[in-house]
Amino acid sequence: MPASSVGHADIPDLVHDLSSSSGATAPVIAPFTGEVLHDLPLSSAGDVADAAATARAAQRAWRSAGPAHRRRVLLRAHDLLLERRQALMDTLQTETGKTRGQAFEEIFSGASVTRYYAVSAAGALATRGRRGGIPLVVRTRVSYQPKGLIGVITPWNYPLSLSLMDVVPALAAGNAVIQKADNQGVLSILASRRAFIDAGVPAALWGVVAGDGTEIGNAVVDAADYVCFTGSTATGTAVGLRAAARLVGASLELGGKNPLIVLDDVRPAAAAKDAVYSCFSSMGQLCVSIERIYVHRAVADDFTTAFVERVGALSIGGALDYSADVGSLTSAAQLGRVTAHVDDAVAKGARVLTGGRPRPDLGPYFYEPTVLADVTDDMLCAATETFGPVVAIHVVRSEDEAVAAANASEFGLNASVFSGSRRRARAVADRLDAGSVNINEGYRATFSSIDAPMGGMKSSGLGRRNGREGLLRFVEARTVAESTGLIALPRTGREFAAMTGIMVAVLVALRAIGRR
């Protein structure tokens, strides 16, 4: 049986931090047991409006406090996240059903992004000079100001790390945040938020609401000056359209059907060992998880044998320790989706190489990691995101065929290339239509690179999180330019006639010396 969950005595204290006055509640189920973990107080549209107004008021003081103050507070929050990691991992496992190791990945990611923006925000947003229109005659500088109130809509699958990847840079840039948490991830978000409050972030600056996606999510979009959404392509498109109607920007990390290419120069057993984690981390309930493998026929038999053997040997469990390799799906809806995809594939001729069945003996939402072969285009799992522990292996005849198959998708979030030659892998990576490409790794190489932007192409999203790009989405760039008075700019026809030759000579000279 799974280990005991996060202490029930802690739950009322955490949910007290929600902005909720509706009086309505919704049950939240613990994935490991199927029991009601707690009854979640639901927010109303009025709660969103109140939290937004309070956050806006708090934002003025937070902005005025300056970058040095924000740096100190965020670095203290980083330390508290690490100090409280055991309790945070308990909460993450209890809410999502993931393993201890995968819960730790969230803590590592959240702490990394907090430290990164604490240290880098001031430099990235410093006012800097730019070349004036006429050197020496015009002096130009660019500064940044926070947008104001950032709306963050966060999914259930990685509630802590995906939350902090958006919330922390927003705070570091001097903004306030109003966040809609998915019901299944509220406790993890509130527990991590508590670390930031205890570190010195004003409680009013970061409001958290929960409830119906249409009512509460729309209210967050309508209240915000910029919106971050992580979730499905269909919902994200609706969010983007709603924000655009108000001329409000949005960054959208959406669905994926992520491919992994195995070239003919790999060591098959070693490649299989690394590829398994890429597919089944958090039971495949990860936006960047691998769902399609294209393996060159020269190594296909050896790779597939080793891959299937390792998948079949994975330890499945729900203990709050490091004894399990994979955990549980998070909800009945997830179990239903995975079962439907596998059953549909089998009915249409796919072969199950390992897995392919639920494990009610372990808990209500456990499902065996599943490897399929002979998947065809008419199957649900061929092109539609499964978002579960299911991967299809396809044998290809060439590198070109693998690249074409990998790119033949409406999605372009993440991809991977396994090769014995990093030089060859980089050349293949440059041909893939994906916002992130990993070499000899499935997703963690790019996912952990907080200094580099992360986001999708095609139907996988809009905009980028992480890196300088993830910070600049939360500010408005402002240009201030001044006339130095060295030469008066022409104002009349006579003055233009006198100055035109000089101005053309300046342009020619700049071109000659290669100046911008």
Q: 148-161 in b/e burial notation, b at 16+ Cβ within 10 A?
A: bbbbbbbbbbbbbb
Query: pLDDT per residue over 402-447, tens digit each?
Result: 999 999 999 999 999 999 999 999 999 999 999 999 999 999 999 9
Structure confidence at residue 135 (pLDDT): 85
Helix runs in 348-433, H state only: 380-383, 399-407, 422-429
* CATH class of this structure's domain 258-453: alpha beta
Distance between CA atoms of residues 235 and 229, nearest Å: 9
Phi, psi of 376 (to 5 degrees): -115, 165
Work out the end-to-end distance of the chain between its first and last CA atoms, rounded to an integer number of angstroms: 67
Q: For residue 348, what are the CA distances in angstroms to 40, 230, 343, 420, 460?
A: 41, 32, 9, 35, 28
Return all residues near 460 (Cβ < 8 A) that are at least 6 apart.
233, 253, 254, 255, 256, 411, 412, 413, 434, 435
Residue 3 has pLDDT above 60, yes or no: no
Say what the pLDDT of residue 294 is: 98
Mean pLDDT of the chain: 96
Which pLDDT value is given to residue 11? 85
pLDDT reported for residue 92: 97
Nearest in space to 11 (alpha carbons), one of 164, 157, 197, 188 = 188
Q: What is residue 6's predicted lDDT score, i.e. its pLDDT?
A: 57
For the domain made up of 10-254+467-475, give the CATH fold: Aldehyde Dehydrogenase; Chain A, domain 1 (3.40.605)
User: φ and ψ at 33, to 5 degrees?
Assistant: -115, -25
Rounded Cα distance between 322 and 316, Å, is 11
Confidence of residue 1 (pLDDT cuts 50, 70, 90): very low
Residue 350 near residue 18, CB atoms below 8 Å: no
| 3-class DSSP state of 119 | helix
Contact criterion met (CB below 8 Å) for 465 and 454: yes
Phi first, then psi: give them for residue 119, nearest 5 degrees: -85, -35
In the chain, where the domains are located: 10-254+467-475, 258-453, 488-516
- Res. 9 pLDDT band, cuts 50 70 90: low
Residue 8 confidence (pLDDT): 57
Could you give the residue numbers annotated as active site? 253, 287
33-74 residue pLDDT tens: 999 999 999 999 999 999 999 999 999 999 999 999 999 999
**Which of the four pLDDT bands, split at 50, 70 and 90, describes residue 12?**
confident
pLDDT digits 0-9 by tens, 120-173: 999 999 999 999 988 889 999 999 999 999 999 999 999 999 999 999 999 999
Determine the pLDDT at residue 330: 98
The answer to whether 40 and 15 have CB atoms below 8 angstroms apart is yes
Rounded to an integer, the average pLDDT of 181-205 is 98
Percent of the chain, pLDDT > 70? 98
